[in-house]
Every structure is written in structure tokens, then in C-alpha cells.
Structure 1
Amino acid sequence: MTSSEREFQDVDRLHGLLGMPPTLGNEVRVLRNGDEIFPAMLDAIRNATETVDLVTFVYWSGDIAIEFASELRAAAQRGCRVRVLLDAVGARKISSSLITEMTEAGCNVRWFRPFFDKKKVPKINEANRRTHRKIMVCDNSIGFCGGVGIAQEWCGDARNEHEWRDTHLAVRGPAVAGLLAAFVDNWADQHEDGYSPGGERDVDFTEHGSTAMFVVRGSAETGASDVWRMIMSLVSMAERRLRIATAYFNPDRFVIDELIAAVERGVHVTLLVPGEHHDKRFIQITGEEAYQELLDAGVDIRTYEVSMMHAKVMTVDGRIATVGSTNFNQRSMQHDEEANVVLVDEDIVAVLDRHLDDDLTKSIELDPSRWADRGLPQKVAERVTNVVEKWL
């Protein structure tokens, strides 16, 4: 089977499993770490002439937070329609002065699912259902999707513990419509005064490349979400090699079984997770409870030891990959609004695999026997986290 024939087969298989047709004719650029991601995003804002739409879970502090606010403000002042949607939990650290400056310049800034309504009544039923999406679309012609937040932690090139490791994609082509839909889906959710699709601008469907893509949106819901099904589907398709990089690892029983089944059919499964420079130790422990079973089954687990591993990347057999905001945990798969791109393109996947190759040289491989001898306090902590693991 030729490479082209295999690509068509992969696209058809994903079409059936994901329940959505592929979007063809896209150009994709892989951006690694803040030194590549932030300049590309800021240039897109500077070059925008009509619209800028941004939804993010994290908007914290630092010079980069100020620079983004400045460019968004400038875009609004030159006549662009600028819409900024911030999660009420994830972006709570943003300076109120930045909100004021953007709003006064003409940016439409909204909070996603704030804790209180206009009458100061707590919205208990929405408190745990956040948007974790990280999407930006400019002029409906270029879109960005991945794991990076707007904060100083992501600046740099993952050279030390102060510079987080992450991956983003810049996309041109028809798939931008899917990224815009992921933004609008959350934006419309916050319009208590109504939402009119008639106000949306047309998407530029010009083909810029040859990459086949699927944009998968996960919503906070009970049971199997679309991103859960996406992950299960990609794991099931692996025949030789499956690589997973994730900031937070805490899958449900079905995903664990699927990973073990992949190993049993001869797939080399590598899991890359944060090591010493994690940002949330309690959440890290919830995933560690599953390590022994996975290690005993033959899963290769590595801990990244340079900085916080925040990328959400999965590659399958060097042919298929997904990049987005979805972590390999139950929170992403059940409780949060997420957005991922699934792409079928050997050249793009090769770039992602090269980046992962580099990451693996900076990681430590867990030894099954040594992990089995971990101390009693660690084992007790793992058991304790069982009580709340499905929320993490």
C-alpha cells in the first residue's frame, strides 16, 4: 500500500470513528514553546484587519500578558471586532487593569461561566464546567490551537524550570471554520441577551495546503464526550507506535484498558508526563496510581525533567496526530470544554515526533520494579486521591 493510499484509508477510518467528514486543503505549522508560539500569535493579531477572536482558560500575568492586551487593544482601535472570552476560574489571575484597558479600547471581553449571576446568586450547577479551550482566530483565515496559556510561564524555549514546554498549531485553510466554531460555541454560551449568527463574518475557505484535518470539540457532559471517543479511537488505530505527551494524566478505566490492549497487540506505547517540575503535585499523584499496572503491562512511562511538560500531543504510527487543549485525564474528557485538531499528514507528524524525540532525551524512564518499591506514604496518597480522581 502506498503512502497516499494509506492516508486515504486513515482519513476514512477517522471519518467513521469520529462521525465527521475531514477538512482538506489545510496548511499547518507546528509551533514549539513560547519563543515560536507567542510571536506567531501576536503577528496574526497585528496583521488582522477585520476580526480577532480569542478564548483561553489561562490568562495570568507577566510581560506577555501585557503585550497581548496591548495588541488586542490596538486591533480594536484600528477598527477590528475583537472578542475575548476568559474562563472565570482559569483566568482569574489576570490584572483587572488589563480588562479595563481592553474594554475601554473597544474589545468585547466576557467571562465564561462566572460563579455569580447579575443578582449575585451563585451558579452552583456551572461551577465545575469550565472552558479549557485555547483558540484564536484572526480574520477568519488563520487559527491557532494547542495547549499554551497567556502567561509568563510559557515564555522562552523550555530551557529550564521557569519556561514551560508546550505545542501549538497555526492553521490556514478550511479547517479554520472548525476552530472558529469552537470559539463561537463558547462565546454564544455567555450571551444572556441572545446571540445572532447573522453577525458572524464569512470564513475564508481558500485551500492553502494538503493536510487533512478534523476539529474535535469536547463539551462538559455526562458520559463519553467527543474528545474521549477521539482518544479511544486513536489508541485503537495504533499498529506500531503510540506516543502521548500530556500535562495531566488520569484516564478512566476504559482508556487504561485500551492502552494495555495496544501493548498486547505489539504497539510500543510511550507516555511522557511531567516530572520534578510539575505544577500540581496532587493531580500528578492521581495519575501515578495507574503507573504500576501500565508499567507491568509494558507501557514505557517517562517523566520530563527540564520544566513543566504542558503539551497535549499524541502521534500514531508516524501518520496521525492530535494537538489541542485536551489532557489525558478525566477532567478533560468529561468536565471541560476542549478543542483538538486531528491531522493526517506524515510530514507534520514527523515534526511532532522529532520534538518528542528531543523531549525523551530530557526525560527519565520509570523502572517497573523500582516503582513497585515506592514508599508507603506515596501509596497512601494515591489511594486518597481515588476519592476525587474523576474531577481532576
Structure 2
Amino acid sequence: MSEAEWTDRLHGLLGMAPSVGNEITVLRNGDEIFPAMLDAIARAEHTVDFVTFVYWRGDIAVEFAEAFAAAAERGCAVRVLLDAVGARKIDPALVVRMREAGCEVRWFRPFFEGRVPKIVEANRRTHRKILVCDGTVGFCGGVGIAQEWTGNAQGPDEWRDTHLRVVGPAVAGLHVAFIDNWADQYDDGFDPRNERAIDLTPRGDSTCFVVRGSAETGASDVWRLLMALLGLAEKRVRIASAYFNPDTHMMSELEAAVERGVVVTLLVPGEHADKRFIQIAGEQSYQRLLDAGVEIRTYEVSMMHAKVITVDGKVASVGSTNFNQRSMQHDEEANVVVVDAEVVAVLDAHLDNDLRASIELDPTRWAGRGMPQRMAERVSTVVERWL
């Protein structure tokens, strides 16, 4: 399909109009991602809106807190939304610093409200990672604010990740994704009269869709997105995912793609995976996929944390959504889908480098894996839908 055909098909399947005239910059790893984000915050004159799942520790955590504080001190309205589970490791002193400077810092779905635990909401987190400044520039991708993401993925302590810098009308979609979470449980979370107008001026040539995922029963928007990308692929699909644990429908769609001649490559963490049990949950599906002809490769330099899908050199998805059941059902997610061969070529070039730093799984050798591994895989199936 041409880019125009991809745009039309995604428009019909996702139920959202494409955003045209965007400038998309691919940012790889902390060395590129963090300076771009910090520069946008430093340049902000009116508003800074930020939501993240991970805000941990390290020098970079201090840098961002100081950047938010400085923006507030020079008169910007700064809103920082931290997931109450994912960001629990943040230094409390940084929260105090931001609030004292005038930032409005809130927690997304805290487990306790007073002394009453909010059990129903405990597993429904925001996994989104979005920054919007002055309604003109936005960022979306996989990085959290923590020392683990600094550097350029040169070793185990420097995680591999991808973010997009977006300028143009698609920033509206990122802003809505922030507002959606900000207003989730706060009565004063949304007042349209106080929201800054988004700059909708065309700035580039990329066509985009901003797709949000929410904790819900049934098929989410990001689930339909991934099913559409797999189902419409004609030549090649590349998937890089930090956590891989697809449902039965996704598994069937991966197999169907191979059956009709699509080359499907899956890139997942190797020995540097940060969550071994979640990794095992994905490994229980490897044999079926390998037998179907899916190429599975493990990244061996550092933790592969990127969430990137490229299809046929024409369309790509970058965001917070992993190729797992948790992202499809339990977490709030946000992805930018780009229909632009030039942008996709950059992402594919980055994936080329990642694949050269990976090891391909051999179907025969995997079939001979030991009993302890097989037992661990079987145990993981009990809770896989939560992972």
C-alpha cells in the first residue's frame, strides 16, 4: 500500500482523522532524548505539561525537577503527573522542590485515599510518557526519568530507548493524552477556559495519529492499532518491545502475517532484561512463533526498553505501549503513529544497528531448552494476562 492508502485504512480502522503537517524528529537513547526535552522545558514561556510512569533517581531526576521548578519560577504553569506506583522511587525532596517553586505535582491513582485502599484502581496505571510545552512541541516514547536511561546504550547500565519530538497539529493529540490522565480523578483537572490553545500550524510533512490506550474490558484502541499494523502488513514487520506477552489474537495475527509472506522480526531484551519473570511469560510463546517462522532476536548490549513497530517502510508506531497484555488491557498508554517513509527509514536504520547487536534464537535449540525453563514458563501462564 502507498502512504495515502495506509492513512486512509488507519483512519477507518482507528476512527480518528489523520493529523497532517507535522515535523517528527526521532530521538535515540538518553543522550539525544533528555537534552531535547530539557531544552523544550527551558524554552517554555507559558505551559509545561508532563506525565510519566517512571520517575526514579539519579542526576537526571534532579535535572528534570530543577527544570520544572525553573519554568514555574519564571511564570510558566507547570503540571507534573506521576504514577503513584511507577514513580514511587522518586526522592521526596524533589517533589517538595517542585511544589515550592510553584509546580502543581499530582499522583495518578494513589493506592490510598485517606486510610481506605483503592483496590480496584491498584492495577490500572498510567504508563504514558508525554511532555508538551506551550502547546507547540510535544514528546512521546518509552523513556522514564531515571539514571538507567542516560547515555547511549553502550553497556548494561544505559538502557536502549526511543522517543519522538513532535511539532505541528499532532501535538493536540499528545496534550489530550495528558489532560485525559490529569483530569482522571480530580474535579479541577479540566477547565477548557484555562487550557492554552494548541498551535495547529503545519510545520512539516509527516502524517500522524496519536492513539491512546486505556484500562478497559475488551478491545482497546492500541490493541486495534497493533492488530491493524499486523493485519495490513504486506512485506515486513519489525517489533521492538521491552515486554512481550501477546494475547491469543495477537499470536494468531503474527502467524497469519508470516503465512502470507510477511517477514516478521521480533526484538526483545536478552540477558539484561530488568524483569526476568515478565521475560519468562513472553518466552512461553516463543516456540509457537519460531515454528511459525517469526524471527526472534534478543538484544544483548543493555536493557531493550524501546516500543517501536515499523511496517513495510511506510508506517511506524512509537510510544509507551509494549507488545503485551498489560498494555492492551490494564495501562493507560499513548503512541504516535507516523505515516512517512523518511521517518520510518530512520527508525529502521536504528533497528538495523540493534539487530546487529542481538542474537537470533534457533528454533531447534529453543525446543531443547531444559525442564526448569519449561516449568517457569508454565507457572507464568497463571498470571500472564496481568504482565
Q: TM-score range by the shorter chain?
A: over 0.9
Change (3 A) 1:108 1:299: same
Aligned AA (1:376): M
Aligned AA (2:63): E
- Asked if structure 2 preserves the Cα contact closer than 8 Å seen for 1:110 and 1:190, the reply is no
Q: Per the alignment, in what secondary structure is the counterpart of residue 189 of structure 1?
A: coil
Report whether the alignment pairs 1:48 with 2:48.
Answer: no
- Asked if structure 2 preserves the Cα contact closer than 8 Å seen for 1:26 and 1:172, the reply is yes
In structure 2, runs of 5+ residues without a counterpart are none
In 1, distance between residues paired with 2:126 and 2:44? 25
- Asked if structure 2 preserves the Cα contact closer than 8 Å seen for 1:147 and 1:310, the reply is yes
Q: Per the alignment, in what secondary structure is the counterpart of residue 117 of structure 2?
A: coil
CA offsets per residue over residues 223-253 of structure 1, 9 Å max, x none? 1100001000000111110000000000000
Report whether the alignment pairs 1:27 with 2:56.
Answer: no
For residues 221-260 of structure 1, the aligned pairs below 5 Å read: 221-260=216-255
In structure 1, runs of 5+ residues without a counterpart are none
Indicate which of 131, 140, 157 corresponds to 1:162.
Answer: 157
- In the other structure, the counterpart of 2:330 is 335
For residues 372-391 of structure 1, the aligned pairs below 5 Å read: 372-391=367-386
In 2, distance between residues paired with 1:209 and 1:50? 23
Report whether the alignment pairs 1:367 with 2:358.
Answer: no
- In the other structure, the counterpart of 2:88 is 92
Aligned AA (1:112): F
CA offsets per residue over residues 102-123 of structure 1, 9 Å max, x none? 0000000000000011x32111
Q: Per the alignment, in what secondary structure is the counterpart of residue 279 of structure 2?
A: helix
Change (3 A) 1:180 1:80: same
Report whether the alignment pairs 1:309 with 2:304.
Answer: yes
- In the other structure, the counterpart of 2:166 is 171
For residues 88-127 of structure 1, the aligned pairs below 5 Å read: 88-117=84-113, 119-127=114-122
- In the other structure, the counterpart of 1:16 is 12
- In the other structure, the counterpart of 2:259 is 264
- Asked if structure 1 preserves the Cα contact closer than 8 Å seen for 2:182 and 2:189, the reply is no
- In the other structure, the counterpart of 1:285 is 280
- In the other structure, the counterpart of 1:140 is 135
- In the other structure, the counterpart of 2:65 is 69
How high is the sequence identity, in percent, across the aligned residues? 72
- In the other structure, the counterpart of 2:349 is 354
Q: Per the alignment, in what secondary structure is the counterpart of residue 229 of structure 1?
A: helix
Aligned AA (1:231): L
Aligned AA (1:13): R
CA offsets per residue over residues 56-93 of structure 1, 9 Å max, x none? 00000000000000010000000000000000000000
Q: Would you identify which runs of 4 or more consecutive aligned residues in structure 1 move more than 4 Å?
A: none
In 1, distance between residues paired with 2:179 and 2:361? 42
Structure 1, 5-14 or 182-191: larger mean CA deviation: 5-14
CA offsets per residue over residues 153-209 of structure 1, 9 Å max, x none? 000000000000000000000000000000000000131456322211100011100
In 1, distance between residues paired with 2:98 and 2:70? 9
Change (3 A) 1:31 1:193: closer
Q: Per the alignment, in what secondary structure is the counterpart of residue 215 of structure 2?
A: coil
Q: Pairwise CA RMSD of aligned residues?
A: 0.8
